[in-house]
Amino acid sequence: MARKQSPTPEQFDRYQKAWDFFNEALFDGQLEPCLLNLSSHRGSYGYFCPRRWKKGDHETHEISLNPNMLGRPLKDTMSTLAHEMAHQWQDDHGSPSRRGYHNSEWADKMEEIGLIPSDTGEPGGAKTGQRMTHYIDPDGKFARALKKMPKEYALPWLTGEVESAVQKPKAPKKLKLTCPVCEVKVWIEAENEGHQIYCGECGETFLTKEELKERKEEDEDD
């Protein structure tokens, strides 16, 4: 009876081939081999960690993909890999900013390889910042390379349900109000919004930022 192929080398052989492919197609083979990993990091598609691993005097980077995100379309998973490879390129050939910050040099490299940086993942989002994602330029270098990538480079083993990496903004627990006369500020529980609270000094009702703006506009009209 033929022995089934072990899933570990099958998964990571494909992973390495995908990395090799994009290294040549997007970075002209400039990236040195790094340690590829699969590691859950809630709310993230993947990450790059510079010089994390050591073997004697040699150091190497780590690129990790979140296994709970591998069920997304192939273009999305592979664009995450290329996104992290852009960080590797910058660490080796550019000038990265503080840990985790995506600066303009990185953003320019992303656009060069056909991934448009955006903090929202949509057109019009900020291109630099601490927490960034991207969208794919349909006519860019990455999209063209992906069409040529052998399908067997896709990771064969998937796990669990696809997480949502888009974190919905949490409702504020506190709401800031301002007295329109003396400008004293107070904070209340957000659930109490709409309740009238009076300033002990002026006797005026505390207002939200939006209400202050409306009152100012009304005063200007008068």
CATH class of 174-221: mainly beta
Report the C-alpha gap between 203 and 179 in whole angstroms: 9
pLDDT attached to residue 37: 97
Query: Which of the pair, 202 or 66, is modelled with greater confidence?
Result: 66
pLDDT attached to residue 112: 98
Least confident of 5-9, 46-50, 99-103, 133-137: 99-103
User: For residue 10, is pLDDT > 80?
Assistant: yes
Query: Which of the pair, 84 or 177, is modelled with greater confidence?
Result: 84
Q: Which of 41-50, 132-141, 196-205 has the highest mean pLDDT?
A: 132-141
Report the C-alpha gap between 163 and 187 in whole angstroms: 35
From the list 7, 164, 153, the residue with the least C-alpha distance to 72 is 164
- Predicted confidence band at 158 (pLDDT cuts at 50, 70, 90)? very high
User: For residue 92, is pLDDT > 90?
Assistant: yes
From the list 152, 136, 5, 140, the residue with the least C-alpha distance to 81 is 136
| Burial of 41 from C-beta contacts in 10 A (0-12 / 13-18 / 19+) | middle
User: Would 7-153 and 174-221 be classified into the same CATH topology?
Assistant: no
- Predicted confidence band at 3 (pLDDT cuts at 50, 70, 90)? confident
Q: Which CATH architecture fits 7-153? A: 2-Layer Sandwich (3.30)
Give 200's DSSP letter: T
Residue spans of the domains in the chain: they are: 7-153, 174-221
Query: Which of the pair, 172 or 11, is modelled with greater confidence?
Result: 11
- Predicted confidence band at 101 (pLDDT cuts at 50, 70, 90)? confident
- Predicted confidence band at 208 (pLDDT cuts at 50, 70, 90)? confident
